[in-house]
Structures are given as structure tokens and as C-alpha cells.
Chains A and B, each alone.
Chain A
Amino acid sequence: MSRRTLLTYGAAIAGVAALTLFIGWWRVDGPGAPEPVAQRPLPLTQMEFQMTDQGGATVGPASLLGNPSMVFFGFTYCPDVCPTTLSDISGWLDDLGDDVAEMNVVFITVDPERDTVDGMAEYVSYFHPAIQGWTGTLDETARAAAGFRASYEKVAVEGGDYTMDHTASVFLFDAEGQFAGTIDYHEPREFAVPKIRRVLATTGEQTS
């Protein structure tokens, strides 16, 4: 093997090594890095959006400060996930009894085109009385979802109707508005209820 060939090989190896390092950087830290899975919601104090609650009042993230909160997204034309979530939450609230008297429990629609204030009011009235229903404009809905790092998408179904894919987790916040955990969709009561109790307990410590 001539010296020249050795040099060529050496350059090629160095080139491959550099390329490998570059690809590694691109994938891990560079523009090619994957979106972090399920980012944490912002603190409520850093969110900005305005909606209308089931009673017609103007509400936003600041309305939730001062008490611990439980917030989730859905839509009332949802036959399976949303009534299941609302009835699961109603069951947790029944279990917690008076302990959750001060907790904010908010259902935010991702389908404001169909979910009017009256529609939300009627829908939430069938579940635990603590559950509020918020709706807003398309823009405000997008701002709310961005703050919670929730996603949603309109999906066509047979016959010209549509349904919504959406984040089905329940987000917990303490009284100061700090994110305090997530309850997954249809998480069993024996896991969900202690998570809520923990948020209520930390809030009790902070205020006392």
C-alpha cells in the first residue's frame, strides 16, 4: 500500500468520523432533534388566553389561581373518551368529598365551532357540579392548548362530519398555578385519587 493510499484512507476515516459526530449532534441537539415527548404545561401564571365559562363569565388562567386546579380538554360531540373522562372525574370528586370543595375543575372544549356556551353548560350539568365548561374563539382555544402543551386536530369521518383528536390527559396545578402532574386518560381511581390528594396536601401546607 502506497503512502498516498494510506493518506486517502486516513482522510476518508477522519471524514466519516466527523460526519458521524455531525449526524449525532444533528439528531440529539441540532435541528433534527425529536420533539420532546409530552412537554410539561406552563405554569398558569405564564399562560394567556380568554374564554367564557358555562355561566357566561369571562375566564382565563388567572381565574384558577388561589386554589388547586384540574384541567382537561375535550369536546361534547365526543361519544367515548370525553363522557368517560367526565364521569371518571365525577367519581374521583365523589370519593374526595369535601376535600375538593375549593378545587377548580375545568373542561375546555377543543371544538368551539360546535360547543357553544349553552351547549357546554348543558353538557357539564350532567356531571359533578364542580366541573366547569369553558369555550372560546378558535384563536383563544389554540392559545390555551399551547399553554397546556395539549394538542388537537379536526379529523373527517364518514358522511361529512368530523371528530377531534385531542390530548385526553388531566392536568393538575397547585394553588400558585405551578404544574403538579398529569392523570392519564382512564387512569384507575386508585392511582388518580392519591395524585389529587397530594396536590391538595401541598396546597394546604403552602397556605398554612
Chain B
Amino acid sequence: MKSTVAAIALAFSVFVGLPTTSSAGSEDIVVEDAWARASIGTNRPGAAYMTVRNTGPDPVTLVGLETPLAMMPDIHETTTDANGVSSMGPVGEITIPAGESVALEPGGMHAMLMRLQIKMVEGETFPLTLNFADGGTLTVDVPILGIAARGPER
């Protein structure tokens, strides 16, 4: 009986994406509109996008990403200078103030998925774990859309 309850709780946490460890702040994080583009093979890096919303009363800091899909996931930011030259690089930690959200979207920040282990196939999903400074984690299932996708399916 106890194990059934645990199994249900586990299943629930996976589907709803509840933080898997109790901690201060990160349990109030909600991820919306996650999506990624399909990849051609595994040589090229992938990118995923989402909105990370902090519904709690305290600031929460996102410190890193993990996924079985890629060996080196990292949060990157694209910037375009006055000459129209675009570059991207790691942003480091992102602190989300209480009640606010941070958007990972094309032309801004993205979850950069370097060293793909598995091809990203349109129609499938992959788990992406967000690690927070308070030790909490949140795993979301990211739907993989077409290579030419422009935004999340709503």
C-alpha cells in the first residue's frame, strides 16, 4: 500500500513537474511553454526554450541544467551588436525575482544542448532538469517540434 502511494506520488511529481526535493524557494517555480527544435543527427547542438515563472515570495536562482539528451547543457544568451553581429555565450546563474518570470526564447536566452547523445526527433519529448541554488530541482518534459518551428504549440 505504502509503495503504491509512493509510486503515485512519484508519477504525479513527474507529470506535474513538482520539485523532487523540498527546499526554500524553488518549489514555487513553474515552467511554461517549453519547446525545442528537432535536430539533424547528433553532431549539431540543440536548443530548448521555455518560460520559467517564480510564483513564490522569494527570489530563486537557476544555476544549471541536466538532461540525458546532452552531455553539456547550459543556458546561453544571444546578443546582437550595433553592426548586426550576433554572438552567444553562457549566461551563468539567473535569479528570478519573486512573482516574476524569465523567458528563454529565440533571439534571447536558450537552453543550449551541447554534445547531443540522442537525436532530437519531432513529436517526441525529452526530460530537462533545472537545478536551483537552494538545492531544489525541477524536471520538465520538453516537446520536440520541427526544425523550422517558431514557437511553442499552444
Residues of A within 8 A of B (CB): 37-38, 76-77, 79-81, 83-84, 86-88, 90-91, 122-123, 126-127, 151, 155, 157-159, 161, 163, 165-169, 182, 184-186
Contacts and interface: CB of A to CB of B under 8 A. Distances in A.
Contacts of A169: 84
B69 interface: no
Nearest to A91: B150
Interface stretch (B4-12, B13-21, B38-46, B135-143): B38-46
A199 B115 CA distance: 42
B1 interface: no
Contacts of A157: 89, 114
A148 B68 CA distance: 41
Nearest to A83: B37
A79 B84 contact: no
Contact of B44 (A77, A126, A158): A77
Interface of B: 37, 40, 43-47, 72, 74, 76, 78, 80, 82-90, 106-107, 110, 112-115, 146-150
A44 B16 CA distance: 55
Most buried by A among B46, B83, B114: B83
A81 B147 contact: no
A112 B137 CA distance: 40
Contacts of A155: 87, 89
A84 B146 contact: no
5 contacts: A38-B82, A83-B147, A87-B149, A161-B114, A165-B86
A151 B83 contact: yes
A38 B148 contact: no
B114 A159 contact: yes
Q: Which of A80, A90, A182, A186 has the most CB of B within 10 A?
A: A80
A79 B112 CA distance: 8
Contacts of A166: 85-86
Contacts of B45: 77, 79, 161
Contact of B88 (A88, A127, A163): A163
Given A86-B148, A90-B148, A81 B88 contact: yes
A47 B43 CA distance: 33
A108 to B, nearest CB: 15
Contacts of A163: 87-88
B84 to A, nearest CB: 4
B84 A167 contact: yes
A87 B149 CA distance: 7
B150 A37 contact: no
B80 A185 contact: yes
A80 B43 CA distance: 15
B107 A81 contact: yes
Contacts of A185: 80, 84, 86, 107
Contact of A79 (B85, B110, B148): B110
User: Which of A84, A88, A182 gathers the greatest number of chain B CB atoms within 10 Å?
Assistant: A84
A79 B113 contact: yes
A167 B85 contact: yes
Contacts of A165: 85-87
A126 B46 contact: no
